[in-house]
Structure 1
Amino acid sequence: MTLDVPAPSAAALRQRWTAEVWIVLGLSLGQSALYSVVSIVARLTALTPLGEQSTALNVSRSPRPYVDLTYQLLGIAFALVPVALALYLLSADGRSAVRRIGLDGRRPGRDLAVGVGLAALIGLPGLGLYAFGRAIGITVDVQASGLDALWWTVPVLVLSALQNALLEEVVAVGYLMERLDSLRWSPVLMVAASALLRGSYHLYQGFGPFVGNAVMGVVFAEYYRRRRRVMPLVVAHTVLDVVAFVGYALVPAEWRSALGLS
């Protein structure tokens, strides 16, 4: 015996997609954005000026190396769960979510070239904006890697860079743009929402990174809107983070000081 279940109405689908977006963001980057807003308020109301404060990325979680390694790998793995959720939800209609948002390997050479080009386009001005923000006191001192120099440090930093790229580009660009398009948002509002989300979860680093990441968000969201491929964005983001995380320790101390890096 089969039951004829009526197809959901357009209004019901829009309500479901809206709730779905809030749930996905609440489990991932939206949550980070709220914490980041609280963090910047706390920093601004502290006795120490914003420009004299600091934050550390990729920090050690245990003084015991193999315990620390285990924590690092678990953190990376669980941070990718929202990515899996977003892809699963996008495939609910039977279409491959990986192909739908262009996260596949159909164009490796082109995706690599475009990704490296986008990384150069974003990275160099971003470094200058960070240095300018440090100089005028609106950006905190960001220490890109707080891990000790161990045999697994570089591989973990590379994996962390890839995890950041997948989480941010799949959720904040691919998934969000697809869902907002289904909700019939205008292209301008879709790009703005994606860009503001990206900027907001970097607010804990200060206003310079907020502006820089929002601009990056406009470029990446507009590229996705036109090309419907997220893989070049993942490549670009991975390159940027690998340079920041791994290259940080390789920059001479006097250069870091001149750039406003600690």
Structure 2
Amino acid sequence: MTTTDRRTLLTETVLVLGLSLGASAVWSLLSLVRKLTAEAPLSAQTTAMNTSRVPDRPWLDLAYQLADVTLALVPVLLALHLLARDPGPAVPGALGTPGTLVTPGAAHAAGPPHRLMGLDLTRPTRDLLHGTALAAAIGIPGLGLYLGARALDLSTTIAPANLPQVWWAVPVLVLASVQNALLEEVVMVGYLFRRWSQAGWSTVTVVVVSALVRGTYHAYQGFGGFVGNVAMGLLLGWVYTRTRRVMPLVVAHTLLDVVAFVGYAVLADRVGWL
């Protein structure tokens, strides 16, 4: 591959990130700077997520929420569209080695891009089990990290769900969880791992850079959110290099967000330490 080809691939990834999670990373860093320069310490500040747009008009509020979920999936479709234009994918190699371009005729190169990254329902039981195990491995220590970071004034207090008491609140929170999982795992793993591997990056570099970007767009939560999501990105990236399947990652991410969003909505008024 020529230098021009590599530059084109990397430029494409910058543009896709600039339209999605890269832009979120910029806003997240600015939010962190604002919170660090405020008079109140980080632990005394609250980061509100999944907030109401027009709480006095529930049906219009629902329309806003559904529009947010739907439009956030456009970068996922864009990434899949761009991958579908390839003559053949690059498959990340073993840790420490660059990805290798394969020909369109190779057995593992056949099929649409969502199949190539394992975003399908061909292994539902295995993906569900693997995803649930990943969610437990991430969520339990992640909760401890959050509580510890807040105690050390390294994290804001996070309020994951702030919708009014309406019938559609829980379904919207579940949809938001699925949207977050698809956006982050398809773009940050399925798409970027292939593109950066095609550009000649080693698998270690791909995993680490993806994890750092993941941590950066969660930095609005504080340093705990950054560290926790970098660790999550490293684990999920490593799993993907072993399985070549995004679906278990999507399952794990969805479960984590559903527990955080819906759990907070149900327990916030009953559990003081949240």
CA apart distance, 1:100? 1.0
Paired residue for 1:174?
Answer: 190
Secondary structure at 1:142's aligned position in 2? strand
Do structure 1's residue 29 and structure 2's residue 45 form an aligned pair?
no
Per the normalisation by structure 2, the TM-score is: 0.89
Paired residue for 1:13?
Answer: 5
2:167 to 119, 130, 151: 151
**Cα distance in structure 2, aligned partners of 1:118 and 1:225:** 15
Paired residue for 1:53?
Answer: 45
Secondary structure at 1:226's aligned position in 2? helix
1:83/1:240 CA distance change after superposition, 3 Å: same
Identity %: 54
CA apart distance, 1:187? 1.4
CA apart distance, 1:254? 5.2
Paired residue for 2:76?
Answer: 83
5+ residue gaps, structure 2, are 88-110
Secondary structure at 1:194's aligned position in 2? helix
Paired residue for 1:188?
Answer: 204
1:135/1:97 CA distance change after superposition, 3 Å: same
Do structure 1's residue 120 and structure 2's residue 136 form an aligned pair?
yes
The amino acid that maps onto 1:15 is R
**Cα distance in structure 1, aligned partners of 2:260 and 2:8:** 39
The amino acid that maps onto 1:121 is A
For residues 84-121 of structure 1, the C-alpha deviation after alignment (integer angstroms, 9 at most, x for no partner) is 00011111126511011110111111000000000000
The amino acid that maps onto 1:41 is V
Per the normalisation by structure 1, the TM-score is: 0.93
Paired residue for 2:90?
Answer: none
Q: Which runs of 4+ in 1 moved over 4 A?
A: none
Do structure 1's residue 92 and structure 2's residue 85 form an aligned pair?
yes
For residues 144-200 of structure 1, the C-alpha deviation after alignment (integer angstroms, 9 at most, x for no partner) is 101011111111000000000000000111111111110111111111011101100
**Cα distance in structure 2, aligned partners of 1:204 and 1:151:** 29
Do structure 1's residue 225 and structure 2's residue 241 form an aligned pair?
yes
The amino acid that maps onto 2:129 is A
Counting matched residue pairs gives: 250
Paired residue for 1:71?
Answer: 64
CA apart distance, 1:16? 1.4
1:244 to 236, 239, 260: 260
**Cα distance in structure 2, aligned partners of 1:155 and 1:188:** 38
**Cα distance in structure 2, aligned partners of 1:22 and 1:254:** 44
**Cα distance in structure 2, aligned partners of 1:132 and 1:96:** 44
**Cα distance in structure 1, aligned partners of 2:31 and 2:66:** 26
5+ residue gaps, structure 1, are 1-8
**Cα distance in structure 1, aligned partners of 2:17 and 2:82:** 13
CA apart distance, 1:82? 0.2
Contact 2:47 2:157 (C-alpha < 8 Å) held by counterparts? yes
